């Protein structure tokens, strides 16, 4: 069968945009709300100086050492809330808003990244799965939606193949987002326990830090939901074309 544009392209467009509005837009809005909540919560507790007067980098260094991770380096990176741990390099990177700050928010974020370093040390299974999915997820998130969309507009065997390939590729990205949830929740749980056991923060201070980490976790939930609903949308549109 030769490749050609569907005669019913207008109806497909209607389904494309209406499904986007109904299935995806609400969770995009939720993502914006979650990001705003993270910033406002972080800013609030960034004004609360810890009683221990530890800087974010000092708290991270102490917690790493206590977990037998003296070899893990700490570096400063530009930006705000750009903190992350690189398992490949075994480097913990703290943003400008965390590195020198003595706030309970900064210490909480630093401890969260230490939690990721401990996960790597202990071969925490979800973390290992997420690391293995990084490559496929990057490819899937970039190419998957475009292949699926092109396939939807081609009424041919080629279109079906492209649509299915796009859906499969994007599924890897969605799986990455879903596996990220237990990884991030676990890192925050570890962070709170590490801070409590070390005495870097008091019980009252940990309450505020927990709120910062909980707000941050909402961004991962929103991202996972947005990705999942986008995948569901492509699947439904593909089935609609076949019917």
- Active-site positions read 113
6 CB contacts (<8 Å, ≥6 apart)?
12, 153, 154, 155, 241
Q: How far is CA 108 from CA 45, 61, 82, 121, 235, in A?
A: 10, 13, 14, 20, 40
Backbone angles phi, psi at 84, to 5 degrees: -165, 160
Q: Report helix angle 56-66 to 104-121, nearest 10.
A: 30
The per-residue DSSP string of 75-123 comes to EEESSSS--EEETTTTEEEEEHHHHS--BHHHHHHHHHHHHHHHHHHTT
How far is C-alpha 30 from the geometric centre of its chain's CA atoms?
A: 14
Could you tell me which residues are beta bridge partners of residue 184? none
Angle at 24 between CA 22 and CA 29, to 5 degrees: 100
Q: How far apart are CA 133 and CA 142, in angstroms?
A: 14
54 contacts 62 by C-beta, under 8 angstroms: yes
């Amino acid at each position: 069968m030769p490749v050609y544009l569907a005669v019913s392209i207008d109806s497909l467009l209607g389904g494309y945009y209406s499904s986007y509005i109904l299935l995806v837009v609400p969770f995009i809005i939720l993502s914006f709300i979650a990001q705003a909540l993270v910033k406002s919560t972080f800013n609030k507790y960034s004004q609360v100086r810890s009683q221990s007067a530890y800087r974010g980098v000092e708290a991270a260094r102490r917690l790493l050492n206590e977990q037998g991770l003296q070899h893990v380096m700490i570096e400063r990176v530009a930006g705000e809330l750009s903190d992350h741990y690189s398992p490949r390099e075994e480097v913990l990177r703290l943003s400008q808003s965390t590195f020198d700050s003595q706030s309970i928010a900064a210490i909480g974020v630093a401890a969260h990244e230490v939690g990721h370093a401990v996960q790597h040390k202990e071969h925490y299974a979800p973390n290992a799965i997420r690391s293995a999915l990084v490559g496929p997820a990057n490819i899937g998130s970039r190419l998957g939606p475009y292949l699926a969309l092109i396939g939807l507009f081609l009424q041919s065997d080629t279109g079906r193949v492209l649509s299915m390939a796009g859906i499969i590729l994007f599924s890897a990205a969605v799986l990455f987002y879903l596996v990220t949830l237990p990884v991030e929740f676990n890192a925050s749980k570890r962070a709170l326990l590490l801070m409590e056991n070390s005495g870097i923060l008091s019980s009252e201070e940990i309450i505020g830090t927990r709120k910062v980490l909980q707000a941050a976790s909402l961004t991962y939930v929103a991202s996972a939901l947005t990705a999942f609903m986008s995948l569901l949308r492509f699947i439904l549109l593909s089935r609609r074309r076949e019917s």
